[in-house]
């Protein structure tokens, strides 16, 4: 979900969401695909033509080939190689040409107008802008994938997905992005250290600030963060806003509602982050995502906020006996939605509209989302897949704490959509988040500048507006 980087992010991950790149175009802004600007997505499943059945709902032809490009970030790419085995069990005469990279936009964007890959995992810091892809007809709607039979279970593919996965991949009423990872975000700590020191993991900001002096007395910083990629600090800021003011406040922000950033409670929700910086509770240094995570693993800081790709991304350097444990973002007294958890699907695949074998691309997605494929994903990455039940048989403390966090939360999941809707606003929010965590903005100044940035987008008639309903 990384999200990402280099994983992004997700976006790191998607993204999620996660997450995202500031813009798709490395070419002039006249259009993502000037060679095909104004063209409509193909209405046919290129590469199909074989008889359709429950085991081959898109009519994939034998002796055809499908080109799959995987983002090789925090989750690695071994899980995707395992999906090739799953796919070829049903389609042994179809050749899968798989490659992996961290340069999705750089390598894949130039091909979109001519002959792109069939299936592209659009994730990481160098990801293509989703809204531009959709608005310019560069990627295929995948609603027929949702209604196709599940690979190895009853019901449809859509039925097999965890809550939020379909919504996360939907824009303008159509399903475009198949997110294969299910990421949970929060504050990570070393449970073994906390047991040794007799510390109780905080659940509120007041408890954290009370614990912070004890942590500093041990020669550790209470907190460390990625100071390079602005979507990292943004996760915590939006979790605090949602918990304090509620879901509707974030929906209003996503919808560019007039004055949405000035809603009562938003500044107060962000002031603990301001205090964390002013009280010098952050580990000094301009560290990126892996450097900050390594500092945490080295015992230089007690807490770090990141998603559940953490263990897989840092697997090679986790010290013996280190118990990676995720806890929820801290809340304030009186928060309206304190039990809501920040979780969503991420690591999204797209099918280019000009892909030569779209039928096989969709069929490969069915394999990725299968019970077998998703279980292997959870086993290898120690992160949940977006298919229900993926982590049920995986024995791992990090994954277990994430499962417990989700199960103990409410039915609403914290999510933010404007980074997917508006590339310029996404980038500005990342920049301002970095400024707040660097101590160069107060919470009030952050809110004022975000409102101004949102107003600028809202008033720009050249920008196609998106609507979030839930």
- On whether the CB atoms of residues 459 and 424 are closer than 8 A, the answer is no
Residue 15 has pLDDT above 90, yes or no: no
Q: Which of 229, 184, 186 is nearest to 208 (CA)?
A: 186
Tell me which residue of 218, 242, 389, 401 sits closest to 307, measured CA to CA.
401
> What pLDDT does 339 receive?
93
pLDDT grade for 395, boundaries at 50, 70 and 90: confident
| Per-chain mean pLDDT for the chain | 89
pLDDT given at position 436: 98
> How far is 183 from 195, CA to CA, in rounded Å?
26
- Domains belonging to the chain, first-starting first, are 9-184+344-399 (3.40.190.10)
- Mean pLDDT of the region 62-84: 95
**pLDDT tens digits for 136-192?**
999 999 999 999 999 998 899 999 998 789 988 998 899 999 999 998 999 999 999
Residues of the chain above pLDDT 70, percent? 90
Q: Which helix (H) or strand (E) holds 414?
A: strand 413-414
List the beta bridge partners of residue 185: 307
pLDDT at residue number 42: 42
How distant is the alpha carbon of residue 83 from its chain centre?
A: 21
Predicted TM-score (pTM) of this structure:
0.72
Let me know: does 80 contact 374? Beta carbons within 8 Å.
no
Question: Judging by beta carbons within 10 Å of its beta carbon (0-12, 13-18, 19+), is residue 353 exposed, middle or buried?
Answer: buried
Task: Look at residue 412 in the predicted model and tell me its pLDDT.
Answer: 86
Beta bridge partners of 202: none
**Sign, CA torsion 355/356/362/364:** negative
Is the pLDDT reported for residue 11 higher than 60?
no
The pLDDT value recorded for residue 4 is 34
Q: Are 55 and 92 in contact (CB under 8 A)?
A: no
Structure tokens at 147: 């209604």
């Amino acid at each position: 979900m990384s999200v990402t980087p280099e994983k992004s992010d997700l976006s790191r991950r998607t993204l999620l969401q996660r997450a995202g790149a500031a813009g798709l175009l490395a070419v002039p802004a006249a259009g993502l695909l000037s060679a095909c600007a104004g063209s409509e997505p193909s209405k046919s499943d290129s590469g199909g033509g074989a008889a359709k059945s429950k085991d081959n709902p898109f009519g994939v032809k034998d002796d055809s080939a499908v080109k799959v490009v995987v983002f090789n970030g925090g989750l690695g790419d071994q899980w995707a190689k395992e999906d090739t085995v799953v796919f070829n069990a049903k389609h042994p005469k179809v050749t899968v040409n798989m490659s992996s990279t961290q340069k999705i936009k750089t390598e894949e964007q130039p091909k979109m107008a001519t002959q792109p890959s069939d299936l592209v995992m659009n994730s990481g810091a160098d990801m293509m802008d989703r809204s531009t892809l959709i608005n310019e007809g560069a990627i295929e709607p995948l609603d027929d994938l949702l209604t196709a039979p599940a690979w190895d279970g009853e019901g449809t593919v859509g039925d097999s997905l965890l809550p939020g996965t379909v919504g996360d991949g939907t824009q303008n009423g159509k399903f475009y992005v198949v997110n294969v990872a299910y990421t949970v975000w929060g504050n990570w700590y070393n449970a073994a250290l906390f047991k040794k020191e007799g510390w109780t993991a905080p659940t509120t900001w007041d408890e954290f600030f009370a614990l912070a002096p004890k942590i500093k007395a041990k020669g550790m910083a209470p907190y460390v963060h990625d100071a390079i990629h602005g979507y990292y600090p943004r996760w915590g800021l939006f979790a605090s806003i949602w918990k304090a003011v509620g879901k509707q406040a974030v929906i209003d922000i996503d919808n560019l509602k007039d004055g949405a950033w000035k809603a009562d409670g938003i500044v107060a929700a962000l002031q603990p982050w301001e205090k964390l910086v002013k009280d010098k509770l952050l580990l000094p240094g301009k560290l990126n995502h892996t450097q900050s995570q390594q500092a945490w693993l080295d015992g230089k800081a007690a807490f770090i906020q990141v998603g559940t790709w953490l263990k897989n991304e840092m697997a090679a350097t986790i010290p013996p006996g280190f118990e990676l444990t995720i806890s929820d973002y801290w809340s304030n007294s009186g928060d309206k939605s304190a039990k809501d958890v920040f979780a969503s699907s991420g690591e999204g695949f797209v099918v280019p509209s000009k892909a030569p074998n779209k039928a096989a691309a969709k069929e490969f997605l069915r394999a990725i989302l299968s019970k077998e494929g998703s279980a292997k994903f959870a086993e290898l990455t120690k992160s949940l897949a977006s298919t229900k039940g993926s982590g049920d048989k995986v024995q791992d403390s990090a994954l277990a704490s994430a499962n417990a966090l989700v199960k103990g939360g409410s039915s609403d999941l914290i999510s933010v959509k404007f980074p997917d809707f508006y590339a310029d606003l996404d980038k500005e929010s990342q920049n301002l988040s970095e400024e707040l965590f660097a101590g160069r903005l107060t919470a009030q100044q952050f809110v004022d500048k975000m409102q101004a940035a949102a107003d600028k987008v809202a008033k720009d008639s050249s920008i196609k507006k998106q609507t979030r309903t839930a």
